[in-house]
Structure 1
């Protein structure tokens, strides 16, 4: 028998499925010491946990290789999301098919009356989400009196999502003799407390190595200016040209915005978030499996449990909230022994936070700049050459058509037309506003003399017109945080609802940055800054703007010739503009419309803040 510790019916199912060996977590839950005991299991995402607990509960469910007749469930599996519950149901279906198992799935978004009828007809295994299972339990449709095994899949995520009360009510309704299996990627303290309450003499199993990052995933951290986030996403998708890619955002609104922007650019993309119905989610996943779509934009919760064999690229468009979220997101790729790439897009002000997160997760990420349009075009040429030079067998009609073309055009013209046609099939890459501060040394800091501030005086040495009477403000970032006028200027325009011409001198110090604006608009600017900040007085990038009555205590930096130079070395016409125009990302510092009735400084025509920089609005004081 290929799998000696397993029941013949389960062993045959694994062989028929193509299994040659068990994964480490599947092996450990099948050993003699684990049989009949409660289990507390931590394993990497994508390590085969679903099949593992399917094998672990075999001894309680099978009698002489068959499922016994039951009027109420013998096994209950609880999962955090609909997609994960449906995936678990599919896995258990083939694993217990020869045993004659009847499986019911109870998840939100589906017809509850059909689920109640299925439960009433008698099933041995029930898979569901906490909320729907609790609803069936309270209505009397779910009878747990005969339950033999309870499984909590992704237990840590269910607690993070606020399902503790649901889980406790469900488990309190099960017999004390049941066997309880807790499976989770991480074992934080809340999971430990849950295990102490509902498990007895649990066997602790961990297949998570010393390096918490998945061994088959290559991590990259791409630094960008805040206004370049969407352009960086486009260039990363084009550079990697992954068969399937998943992009993670923090909110439904950001998923909607990014998805619309990618579709507009020509990407075959689908979206997954809490606002989509179950039918819409199923259609999106099917499009990815059928290769009709290559890009999926999703929130963290919506992507839980998604298993796409062709997924090789994960892009964290917005920084994960913690190391566990980073691990769960990235774990969508690098599964079943395949290689994957996880890219974290890091706005300059957030580099220190991401660096700390990676160190805490013991993940070695390669820090790099965002790919430029030139990088993408170079990679396109390499892919095209590789594709065209691959030997293939030609059909006779293709050879005939090629001969006709050769008679009409030169080989150079035909090859150039072929390249042009190939390039037209793909979305064009984006020209980024700023591809990183110039002159970086090994420590990631700019070399001295390479950064210029916005001049305080005109070419003739006189004070700029309109700034004779000005007010200074302070940013909580400086050279140590890679502050640069090329992305600071759009940020100020966006936060303060002003145009770039209303920003005066920008002086960058080691740990803070000073800038001044005319006193006539200072109050309006300050009120707009407060409205565009969160409760901590910062935006989503961690940047705060506060008044600085005393002004800067350090002089403006100058080049070797003693001149303050242009504010960023870029043409004035390109400052404060993001690639893609007004697609929802980038700067919004164009001509301002008339003020609306929303109080001092209000502007009804002011457009939403760019992607990754939106914050809850606070009422003006």
Structure 2
């Protein structure tokens, strides 16, 4: 097959593809779309940026149009799970683009934003629902969503979803799905232990792999510079000043590290923003929009962004810190050289990170070209501008509304902020007291003669 027209997709889908000037499918799409149109389960493995989203959304939309009916109230016909908010939003937008000439409804739900609007959006039912697991279960617990009418279940970035603590949520979600459904798993990497877990969710699947697992994109030029950890910031300033950067993603291992890099860049008069899990959804959306529009050329991110950012024109990926999982390196540098473009990946390697880089080279079967330090590097280190001061703590302003509610719950005596069903029984009295001691403490009469003006004898209960 050489064009999308050869697949026999619905005419409205072909119109949408023509409007986006998509004519030639990618290898993963060539291999995945035909069996999916036949209703087969599928496990698709392809490196990031090769068109996996279209690989599962085009045949799924074709199915929804071929067998049309209204979704049930609070239900959905197609459920797509993604590990991050950014990736969920990206998938939903792609589904809207491919279904632009249809009447299919597409809704996205994820945490970090008020849940009430999402409840309203789901009340009449939707055709395609893209969600993160946590918010999906919140909506199910509030009886705002039911999954018994799902016809197609899609798990994107399956390795991360099951390898990063989502497995228990996935098992709970799977129990709520109907037994007769089509299952689609897509991922850039599929280690053996994760593939074994995938077998629990797939029935007689077709396996499609267009590249060896954990290989890197051929059009990415990879470089490595050996530098002390404390000197990395000066090296970053030198790289930003010397490289012809259209857009650059800078990766750190920690959230605080990302903020620290941004403050150092700001101290040198270099504009950048950070995106990570401690940012509110509005802050993350604002940073991505500024990066896409070109208002900022540098976006500093943790690995959460390696799976959720699809921005054209990323010319550089800079590994400020080396990931300790080789597969994460693949996802990081896959943010550049997308859609046939070329890209550059530069890694800053501290002495304690050399084992990480050796593991990466072994898994990816590639070796980065050494990049020497700048000639005047010692002077750059000595003259490194001081970072701007971190912003003052303004309380709950700009914070994730879910986190605000959890904090308020703790202040009201809600313990560790767990959902009501997970919280242990409330304890009365002090450690070491039995039931009798608790009763005595709980019903101790107030002594009005000693310290009563300030409630010196505390009431418990």
| Counterpart for residue 45 of structure 1 | 48
Q: Normalising by structure 1, report the TM-score.
A: 0.59
Shift in Å, 1:303? 4.3
Contact 1:228 1:579 (C-alpha < 8 Å) held by counterparts? no
- Runs of at least 5 residues in structure 2 that lack an aligned partner in the other structure: 389-461
Q: Distance in 2 between matches of 1:199 and 1:165?
A: 17
Given candidates 181, 195, 199, the residue that maps to 2:198 is 195
Q: Distance in 2 between matches of 1:329 and 1:338?
A: 16
- Secondary structure at the aligned position of 2:200 is classed as helix
Contact 1:228 1:433 (C-alpha < 8 Å) held by counterparts? no
| Counterpart for residue 149 of structure 2 | 146
Contact 2:150 2:177 (C-alpha < 8 Å) held by counterparts? yes
Is 1:580 the equivalent of 2:379? no
Shift in Å, 1:2? 5.1
5 Å-filtered alignment, 1:426-575, equals: 431-432=377-378
Shift in Å, 1:53? 0.7
Is 1:368 the equivalent of 2:371? yes
Q: Distance in 2 between matches of 1:210 and 1:276?
A: 32
Q: Distance in 2 between matches of 1:57 and 1:161?
A: 27
Shift in Å, 1:188? 1.5
Contact 1:239 1:371 (C-alpha < 8 Å) held by counterparts? no
Contact 1:151 1:182 (C-alpha < 8 Å) held by counterparts? yes
5 Å-filtered alignment, 1:44-443, equals: 44-63=47-66, 67-71=68-72, 72-209=75-212, 212-373=215-376, 431-432=377-378
Which structure would you say has the larger Rg? Answer: 1
Q: Distance in 2 between matches of 1:189 and 1:209?
A: 13
Q: Distance in 1 between matches of 2:382 and 2:174?
A: 52
Contact 1:274 1:302 (C-alpha < 8 Å) held by counterparts? no
| Counterpart for residue 4 of structure 1 | 6
Q: Distance in 2 between matches of 1:144 and 1:246?
A: 37
Shift in Å, 1:63? 2.4
Shift in Å, 1:3? 1.5
Contact 1:70 1:122 (C-alpha < 8 Å) held by counterparts? yes
Q: Distance in 2 between matches of 1:59 and 1:352?
A: 47
- Cα RMSD of the aligned pairs, angstroms, is 2.0
Given candidates 22, 35, 40, the residue that maps to 2:38 is 35
Q: Normalising by structure 2, report the TM-score.
A: 0.79
Contact 1:51 1:91 (C-alpha < 8 Å) held by counterparts? yes
Is 1:13 the equivalent of 2:26? no
Shift in Å, 1:326? 0.3
Contact 1:29 1:35 (C-alpha < 8 Å) held by counterparts? no
- Secondary structure at the aligned position of 1:369 is classed as coil
Deviates more, 1:38-47 or 1:204-213: 204-213
**In structure 2, do the counterparts of structure 1 residues 270 and 583 end up closer, same or farther at CA, with 3 Å as the change threshold?**
closer
Q: Distance in 2 between matches of 1:316 and 1:193?
A: 31
Contact 2:133 2:170 (C-alpha < 8 Å) held by counterparts? yes
Q: Distance in 2 between matches of 1:158 and 1:53?
A: 17
- Runs of at least 5 residues in structure 1 that lack an aligned partner in the other structure: 374-430, 435-576, 585-621
Contact 2:223 2:369 (C-alpha < 8 Å) held by counterparts? yes
Total equivalences in the alignment: 383
| Counterpart for residue 428 of structure 2 | none
Shift in Å, 1:579? 4.2
Contact 2:188 2:214 (C-alpha < 8 Å) held by counterparts? no
| Counterpart for residue 28 of structure 2 | 25
Deviates more, 1:322-331 or 1:134-143: 134-143
Q: Distance in 2 between matches of 1:46 and 1:262?
A: 29
Contact 1:88 1:127 (C-alpha < 8 Å) held by counterparts? yes
Question: What CA deviation, in whole Å up to 9, does each residue of 1:446-475 have, x standing for no partner?
Answer: xxxxxxxxxxxxxxxxxxxxxxxxxxxxxx
Shift in Å, 1:16? 0.9
Contact 1:28 1:34 (C-alpha < 8 Å) held by counterparts? no
**In structure 2, do the counterparts of structure 1 residues 183 and 366 end up closer, same or farther at CA, with 3 Å as the change threshold?**
same
Shift in Å, 1:160? 2.9
**In structure 2, do the counterparts of structure 1 residues 316 and 68 end up closer, same or farther at CA, with 3 Å as the change threshold?**
same
Contact 1:151 1:180 (C-alpha < 8 Å) held by counterparts? yes
